[in-house]
Chain A
Amino acid sequence: MGDHAHRTVEAVWRIESARLIAGLARTVGDVGLAEDLAQDALVAALEQWPSAGVPDNPGAWLTAVARRRYIDGVRRQVTFERKVAEIGRELAETESPMDEIEFDDHVEDDVLRLIFTTCHPALSRDARVALTLKLVAGLSTEQIARAFLISAPAMAARVTRAKKALADAKVPFEVPVGTELATRFASVLEVVYLIFNEGYAATSGESWTRDELCEEGMRLGRVLAALAPGEPEAHGLVALMELQASRIPARMGRDGEIVTLLHQDRGRWNRLLITRGLAALAKARSLSRSAVSRPYVIQAELAACHARALSAADTDWARIVALYEVLGSLTPSPVIELNRAVAVSMADGPAAALPIIDALAGEPALRAYHLLPSVRGDLLSRLGRHAEARAEFERAAAMTANSRERAHLLRRAAACG
C-alpha cells in the first residue's frame, strides 16, 4: 500500500473517528464495543481505499461498514436453531436505531457523551488520557505510545484495561446531570490539560516540547468549548493553553537550550495564539456571572499578564501575586505557593520571597520536585549567596528527568562560580 494512501486514511480517521465511535456507542450502549466496530471499519478502509480511492462521504462509508459488522455480530450471537423465530424481530430492533446513525445534530451530543465517558473518574488518570487520545482525538495506539515513551503493546494493554474498567463499572453513555455534572466536567478539563501539559512540560526524554500533544490538547479544548459554550472553565482552559503555547517558539535557544519565561525573546511569541487566548479569556469572563473563582480562568489570567507585558520588566507582578493568592485559596497546593514565591521575588525582591520558599522545605509533595531547589537557587544567587545557590542548582539538576533542563540547571550552577 502506498504511504500516501495510508496517510490519507489516517487523516480521514482523525476527522471522523470521534463522531463514528460516539454514534455507535449510543446505539450499542458500550464504548468498548463501539471502538472495536469502528476499528473494523478502519481496517476495511485501509484495505479498500488505497485501490478504490477515498469515498465521497468517508464518514458515512465507515459508519455503514461498522453497522454491518455489528449486525453480523448480533446474527452470530443468536443461536439459529433456538431463535429462528426471533431473528427477524431482533434484527428489526437493532437495525432501526442503527439506521438513524447519520451526521445529524445529535452526533455532537454523542461526542460530548463520549468525552464524559473516556474521562470518567472510575479510570486512573493515565487510563483517561490514553482512552481520550484514542477514542476522541483519533490517535493510533502507536502514536500515543510514542508520545508517552512506552511500548505500543504496553499502551494497547492500558487501553484494553481502561475499556474493561468502563464496562465493569457499568458507566452509562450519557452526559451526567445534577450535582455529578460539576465533578465530571472537572475531570474532563483535567484530562484535556494533562494532554496539553504532557506536550508542554515534557516530563522526561530528549524533547523539551512535544508540539503534537500540545496541539491535540488545544484542539480538544476548543472542541469542548464548542460543545459546552456556556461553561466559563472550558473557555478558560482554552485561553490558558493558547496563551501558554504562544510561548513555545521562544522556549528554546539557538543550541536547543531552555530559555525561561523572563529571558525569552517576546518577538518570537505567537501573536495569533495570544490574540485567540485573550479572546477566549474575555469570553470566559463574560460568562462568569458569579464571583465564584474558577481555577482555569485564573490560570489563564496569570498567563495573560505575561502575554500582555512587552518585556519581563513591564510585567504586572503585583497582579500576578494577587492572582496566585486567589488560586492558592481556591486549590491550595505547594506548587502554587512556589509560583507565588517567584512572583513575590519579582514584585518585592528575592529577600521577600525566600521565607515562602523555606516554608516549603519539608513539603512531601515537593520532595522530588526539581523546581523547588531551582527557584531557591535563583533567589540565593540574586541575593549574592553564590555558594549556596550553586548547591541548590546542582541538587535540582540531579532531580530532573529532562536532559535539556538538566543542562540548563548545570549551566546556572557553573555560573555561580
Chain B
Amino acid sequence: MRVMVLVKATEDSERGNYADHAEEFAAVGRYNEELVRAGIMLAGEGLAPSADGKRVAFSEDGGTRVIDGPFTEAKELVGGFWIWQVSSMEEAVEWLKRAPFKGQTVELRRIQEAADFEGKVPQDILEAESRLRARAAQRQAE
C-alpha cells in the first residue's frame, strides 16, 4: 500500500527563512537517506512559500477567479510531502515516529487504489477519468 505523509508549513518556511534551520534540514536529509535505504520512499518534495502560490476559486456556475499568495494560517498550509510504500498503516506510523520533527503534527493518509472505487462510482466515470489521465500523460511525454 501507499501512503502520503503531509507535513504542514511553518511561519519560517512561509517566510522562506531556511538559514535558521540548517540542522533540521540536515536531520531530514539523514532521515530521507534512511527511507531510501529501506526501499520505501517513492517520492518526497518540499513546497515553496505560498507567496509563490496561486489559488483558483470556482464559483457555483463554474466561473473562475485567481487569488495570489501568500495565504494566511501557515499551520493550515501543506509545506511538503512524501509518498511511501509500506506494508501497513502501522508500519507508516512507526516510520513517521522516527522523523526528526518537533512541535508539529504530521498527517498520514492512505492513497486510494482503483479497488477503492469499484462498485462505488459508475464505470463510465472511471473510464472517462482514465482517458483524461492518458491524455495528461501524453502531454507530459511530449
A interface with B by C-beta (< 8 Å): 4, 7-8, 10-12, 14-15, 54, 58, 108, 212, 215-216, 218-223, 226-227, 249, 254, 265-269, 271-273, 276, 308, 310
Q: List 9 A-B contacts (CB under 8 A).
A: A8-B93, A11-B88, A14-B87, A14-B91, A108-B37, A220-B39, A222-B36, A267-B132, A310-B138
B interface with A by C-beta (< 8 Å): 1, 36-40, 42-43, 83, 85, 87-88, 90-91, 93-95, 113-114, 123, 127, 129-135, 137-138, 140-141
In whole angstroms, how far apart are the Cα atoms of A334 and B129 in the complex?
Answer: 40
Q: Which residues of B contact A7 (CB under 8 A)?
A: 88, 90
**A11-B88, A215-B85 known; A226+B123 contact, CB < 8 A:** no
Question: Contact: B137 with A15, CB < 8 Å?
Answer: no
Which chain A residue lies CB-closest to B33? A226
In whole angstroms, how far apart are the Cα atoms of A272 and B137 in the complex?
Answer: 11
**A272-B43, A308-B141 known; A10+B88 contact, CB < 8 A:** yes
Which chain B residue lies CB-closest to A221? B39
Question: Contact: A15 with B91, CB < 8 Å?
Answer: yes
> In terms of DSSP, what is the predominant structure of the interface of chain B?
helix
Q: How many A-B residue pairs have CB under 8 A?
A: 80
Question: Contact: A219 with B137, CB < 8 Å?
Answer: no
Question: Contact: A268 with B40, CB < 8 Å?
Answer: no
In whole angstroms, how far apart are the Cα atoms of A54 and B90 in the complex?
Answer: 12
Which chain A residue lies CB-closest to B140? A271
Q: B137 is contacted by which of A10, A221, A271, A273 (Cβ under 8 Å)?
A: A271
Given contacts A219-B40, A267-B135, 16 further A-B contacts (CB under 8 A): A11-B88, A11-B93, A14-B87, A215-B1, A218-B39, A221-B39, A227-B37, A254-B123, A265-B127, A266-B137, A267-B130, A267-B131, A267-B132, A269-B137, A272-B43, A310-B137
| Most chain A beta carbons < 10 A, residue from B90, B129, B141 | B90
Q: Which residues of B contact A223 (CB under 8 A)?
A: 37-39
Q: Which residues of A contact B39 (CB under 8 A)?
A: 218-223, 226
| Most chain B beta carbons < 10 A, residue from A218, A222, A226 | A222
> In terms of DSSP, what is the predominant structure of the interface of chain A?
helix
Which chain A residue lies CB-closest to B87? A14
| Most chain A beta carbons < 10 A, residue from B83, B87, B88 | B87
In whole angstroms, how far apart are the Cα atoms of A249 and B40 in the complex?
Answer: 19
**A265-B127, A310-B138 known; A11+B91 contact, CB < 8 A:** yes
Question: Contact: A267 with B38, CB < 8 Å?
Answer: no
| Most chain B beta carbons < 10 A, residue from A4, A215, A216 | A215
Least CB distance, B31 to chain A, in whole angstroms: 13
Question: Contact: B87 with A11, CB < 8 Å?
Answer: yes
Q: Which residues of B contact A227 (CB under 8 A)?
A: 37
Question: Contact: B87 with A212, CB < 8 Å?
Answer: yes
Least CB distance, B55 to chain A, in whole angstroms: 25
Q: Which residues of B contact A226 (CB under 8 A)?
A: 36-37, 39
Least CB distance, B4 to chain A, in whole angstroms: 11
In whole angstroms, how far apart are the Cα atoms of A138 and B91 in the complex?
Answer: 12
In whole angstroms, how far apart are the Cα atoms of A265 and B88 in the complex?
Answer: 28
Q: Which residues of A contact B135 (CB under 8 A)?
A: 267
In whole angstroms, how far apart are the Cα atoms of A216 and B1 in the complex?
Answer: 11
**A12-B94, A108-B37 known; A215+B87 contact, CB < 8 A:** yes
In whole angstroms, how far apart are the Cα atoms of A276 and B39 in the complex?
Answer: 12
**A254-B123, A272-B83 known; A11+B141 contact, CB < 8 A:** no
In whole angstroms, how far apart are the Cα atoms of A334 and B120 in the complex?
Answer: 44
| Most chain A beta carbons < 10 A, residue from B83, B130, B132 | B130
Least CB distance, B96 to chain A, in whole angstroms: 11
Q: Which residues of A contact B123 (CB under 8 A)?
A: 254
| Most chain B beta carbons < 10 A, residue from A7, A216, A267 | A267
| Most chain B beta carbons < 10 A, residue from A219, A220, A276 | A219
| Most chain B beta carbons < 10 A, residue from A10, A11, A272, A308 | A11
Question: Contact: A265 with B141, CB < 8 Å?
Answer: no
Which chain A residue lies CB-closest to B37? A226
Least CB distance, B131 to chain A, in whole angstroms: 6
In whole angstroms, how far apart are the Cα atoms of A11 and B88 in the complex?
Answer: 7
Q: Which residues of B contact A222 (CB under 8 A)?
A: 36, 39
Question: Contact: A249 with B114, CB < 8 Å?
Answer: yes
